[in-house]
């Protein structure tokens, strides 16, 4: 579908999304939403880059700011969450937003709690505004992850710290959808370059921020992940705690006794967006598997696992918990975690086979 657009060099993300909408009329509202996300990512890129100079470092003011998952929030976690909310507020297309930094899904309209959404509120967005934020102060890459679902019901949402009413529960369930219902997902990586990588279900497209013109320019059309690889990317300190099939497969890869016969190298940044970006481009297996302490791993299904799995599958790779396709898992709650192993098809399949052989 995008071939004609992609043959043209110098295509900006804005132009790309306009072409996408022209070719797919059912996605005609999407460019407006992408434009909000794109602008927020440019702002976040600057905030991350300048944070040592502006003093927006360390934990939120006075310390003690804890998100609903019991994690202490960095100053930048709060600031980047606000930037995204503000950038999406006036696109007029978004009904509900769920974020790693919000307790429950929130209404993005400024008037607050009593807003009923009409048919112009077409979408639900899920975000991790600044994944890997604890890395920023050490100069290590970070990223924004997003997923977009259709918003198919009118609803009232919770933006206060009160118990949920029945109507709010309806709204909450709007965000509790499996990855297979995503209509778009992507990430922005803040690193040597600022990369914006996305899918609308027809391949994966990567853009690089050209700061001289302030635009994301198409640099990686139709990304395909190599089918097999020599790289694995896990927090190996947890290996003794992993399920046996996972542990045994990685131990074989270390000594070149896996299916491919390759002796693997280890590469782990500890920032999912950076690790997944490298995995997409160079091939490899990235994961945060289940371990004895964290039976569901560490990564969140809704705004980390599902959007990244959608990209991985669209690039020709696989994403599994070991026993289930991540994309098919229906979340019970917004901040639910999920074990993840994703990447090059043949190597991830080897993990799946090891789990099924173990029963």
* Contact residues for ligand AHM, defined by CB under 6 A: 71, 100, 128, 131-133, 235, 270-272, 288, 298
Nearest approach, Cβ of 69 to ligand AHM (angstroms)?
8
DSSP calls for 139-172: T--EEEEEEEEE--S------SSS---HHHHHHH
**Distance in angstroms (rounded) separating the CA atoms of residues 48 and 284:** 27
Closest contact distance (angstroms) between CB of 120 and ligand AHM is 32
271 binds, among Mg ion, ligand AHM, none (CB under 5 to 8 A by kind): ligand AHM
Kindly tell me which of 100 and 159 has the beta carbon lying closer to ligand AHM: 100
CB under 5 to 8 A by kind: which of ligand AHM, Mg ion, none does 279 bind? none
Binding site for Mg ion (CB under 5 A): 128, 131
Of 122 and 335, nearer to Mg ion (C-beta) is 335
Q: Which residues, in sequence order, are CB contacts of 15 under 8 Å at separation 6+?
A: 5
Q: How far is the CB of 298 from Mg ion (least distance, A)?
A: 9
Q: Exposed, middle or buried: residue 240 (CB in 10 Å: 0-12, 13-18, 19+)?
A: exposed
Smallest distance, Mg ion to C-beta of residue 323, A: 23
Q: 287 by DSSP, 3-state: which?
A: strand
* Half-sphere exposure for 334 (CA within 13 Å, toward CB): 24
298 binds, among ligand AHM, Mg ion, none (CB under 5 to 8 A by kind): ligand AHM
Question: Which of residues 107 and 131 has its CB atom nearest to ligand AHM in the complex?
Answer: 131
Which partner in Mg ion, ligand AHM, none is near 270 (CB below 5 to 8 A by kind)? ligand AHM
User: Of 11 and 318, which has the nearer Cβ to ligand AHM?
Assistant: 318
Nearest alpha-carbon partner for 310 in 196, 129, 182: 182
Torsion of CA 206, 342, 353, 264, to 10 degrees: 90
The one of ligand AHM, Mg ion, none whose footprint includes residue 235, by CB under 5 to 8 A per kind, is: ligand AHM
Which partner, ligand AHM, Mg ion, none, binds residue 248 by CB below 5 to 8 Å per kind?
Answer: none
Closer to Mg ion by CB, 131 or 275: give it: 131
Compare residues 31 and 305 and give the one whose CB is closer to ligand AHM: 305
Residue 223 phi, psi dihedral angles, 5° rounding: -65, 130
Query: How many helices (H) and strands (E) are present in the chain, helices listed first?
Result: 9, 13
What are the helix (H) ranges across 142-254? Answer: 166-175, 244-254
Distance CA 206, CA 191 (A): 14
Nearer to ligand AHM, 183 or 306 (CB): 306
Closest approach of Mg ion to the CB of residue 301, in Å? 12
**CB–CB of 330/215 below 8 Å?**
no
What does 181 bind: ligand AHM, Mg ion, none (CB cut-off 5 to 8 Å by kind)? none
Q: How far is the CB of 299 from Mg ion (least distance, A)?
A: 7
Residue among 155 and 306 whose Cβ is closer to ligand AHM:
306
User: Can you tell me the distance from the alpha carbon of 288 to that of 296, in angstroms, rounded to the nearest whole number?
Assistant: 9
- Provide the minimum distance between the beta carbon of 129 and Mg ion in the complex, in angstroms, as a whole number: 9
Number of other CB atoms surrounding residue 18 within 10 Å: 17
For the CB of residue 272, give the shortest distance to Mg ion in the complex, in Å: 7
- Per partner kind, with CB cut-offs from 5 to 8 A, the member of Mg ion, ligand AHM, none near residue 233 is none
């Amino acid at each position: 579908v995008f071939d004609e657009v992609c043959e043209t060099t110098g295509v900006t993300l804005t132009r790309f999304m306009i072409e996408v909408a022209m070719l797919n009329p059912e996605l005609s509202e999407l460019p407006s939403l992408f434009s909000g996300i794109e602008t927020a990512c440019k702002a976040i890129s600057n905030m991350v880059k300048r944070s040592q100079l502006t003093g927006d470092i360390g934990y939120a003011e006075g310390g003690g700011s804890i998100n609903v998952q019991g994690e202490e929030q960095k100053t930048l976690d709060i600031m980047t969450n606000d930037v995204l909310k503000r950038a999406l507020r006036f696109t007029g297309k978004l009904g509900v937003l769920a974020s790693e930094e919000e307790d429950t899904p929130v209404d993005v309209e400024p008037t607050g709690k009593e807003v009923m959404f009409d048919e112009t509120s077409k979408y639900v967005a899920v975000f991790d505004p600044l994944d890997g934020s604890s890395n920023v102060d050490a100069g290590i890459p970070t990223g924004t992850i997003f997923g977009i679902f259709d918003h198919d019901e009118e609803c009232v949402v919770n933006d206060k710290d009160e118990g949920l009413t029945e109507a709010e529960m309806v709204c909450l369930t709007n965000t509790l959808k499996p990855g297979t219902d995503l209509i778009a997902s992507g990430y922005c990586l803040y690193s040597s370059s600022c990369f914006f990588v996305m899918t609308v279900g027809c391949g994966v497209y990567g853009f690089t921020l050209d700061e001289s013109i302030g635009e994301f320019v198409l640099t990686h059309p139709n990304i395909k992940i190599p089918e097999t690889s020599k790289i694995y990317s896990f927090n190996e300190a947890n290996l003794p705690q992993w399920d046996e099939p996972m542990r045994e497969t990685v131990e074989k890869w270390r000594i070149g006794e896996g299916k491919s016969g390759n002796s693997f190298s280890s590469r782990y940044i500890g920032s999912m967006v950076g690790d997944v970006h490298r995995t997409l481009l160079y091939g490899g297996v990235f994961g945060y598997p289940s371990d004895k302490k964290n039976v569901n791993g560490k990564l969140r299904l809704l705004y980390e696992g599902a959007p990244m799995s959608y990209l991985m599958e669209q690039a020709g790779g696989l994403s599994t918990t070991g026993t289930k396709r991540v994309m098919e898992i229906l979340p019970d709650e917004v901040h639910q975690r999920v074990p993840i192993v994703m990447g090059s098809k043949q190597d991830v399949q080897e993990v799946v086979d090891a789990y099924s052989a173990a029963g």
